[in-house]
Structure 1
Amino acid sequence: MIPMKVLLVDDHALFAKSLSIALCDFPEIEQFSSTKDIHNLEELIAEELPDILLIDINLGRLADEDGLMLTQHLLKHFPKQKIIILSGYNLPVYRKEAKRIGAKGFVSKDIEPDELLRILLMVKEGATHFPREEVFVEDLTEGEKKVLELVATGAKRKEIAEQLFISERTVSNHLQHIFEKLQVTSALEAITKAIQLGYLSPLN
């Protein structure tokens, strides 16, 4: 098997260094490099021709877009590039979006090096890797997501209606649909489950 080249896009220098140390011990890895330079990433890809691109979802202050948006952008210019999304938040919504936009896999940052290598080899050979979904939850609409985000800030129905320029009845309808889709009975349960599923950021 021909050794592979892997390029990591991540804003955490310590994580990048740790991953480099872990992967460079494997003979299957010809080259492991990392970058924080989003603005010159396309030039770097064209220069290094990585077999697989690992992209973190949360790029911090590196870019105006997150790793999912960056992946979507890169695949327009490099449609054959194999990209695996890497994240500290192993959430269903993130995994689903990664698959939808054309990434070849989704990996949690707490993965063991041996398992990561196995996934890298699989993807290099043309396979994909997305963890199986334990629970199916019907997608929330954009309107429902906005209502839920405001509920999480502590806003009341009247305040939500005013901010979104909708009636309180519409807010109530959205909340009812949210409760039904998330299979919960209270706003607190809805917020908790929405964080677990990735509809609300754990950083909020």
Structure 2
Amino acid sequence: MMDAARTRAWLTAAARLINANSGHLTALDTAIGDGDHGLNLRRGFEAVTAEATGDTPGAVLKAAGNALIDATGGASGPLYGTFFRRAAKALGDAPEVDDAVFAQALAAGLAGVQTLGGAAEGDKTMVDALAPAVTAFAAGGDAAAAAANGRDATESMTARKGRASYLGERSIGHIDPGAASAALLFQALCSVTTD
């Protein structure tokens, strides 16, 4: 079950992981992007930990999405902000939700990201980690492992969306930074939902 406290715990765990891995995310982005992914997300998740409050999971996620959009530069702010805000809308005002309902909310968040960014699996974006993780969570599987596998699969892909797409085949051999941060998000989620 996800309630407001567990939802905040997820976001706090995610913020710790993003902070700890900020340099690595920036290094990944320096190779195929503009080199600010780790710094931007660290700033965004600092705002999330300060501002993501509320009495329901939906309220917490809506506040998190708003904080990310306001505080995070680059494309990651709108994309992650949309992910959380769409999930929040799907959850509504329920004080707590079971895993099946939460999985539907995660799927709504993923759909929002795909609509905003126009990316599908195989495009070498955060979707390559998010989509298998959402599917695994819904099936009661290991969402963190699914996200990590999706992240790692981006190394052999040619980027078709985002700044990395400008490199064409030169993007091959590099892990997508958005997929790497998405994997951290699901690592954090699994750490608070695995009892």
Q: Compare CA radii of gyration and give the structure with the larger one.
A: 1
How high is the TM-score relative to the length of structure 1?
0.29
How high is the TM-score relative to the length of structure 2?
0.29
Greater relative contact order (Cα < 8 A, sep 6+):
2
The answer to which structure has the higher strand fraction is: 1
The answer to which structure has the higher helix fraction is: 2
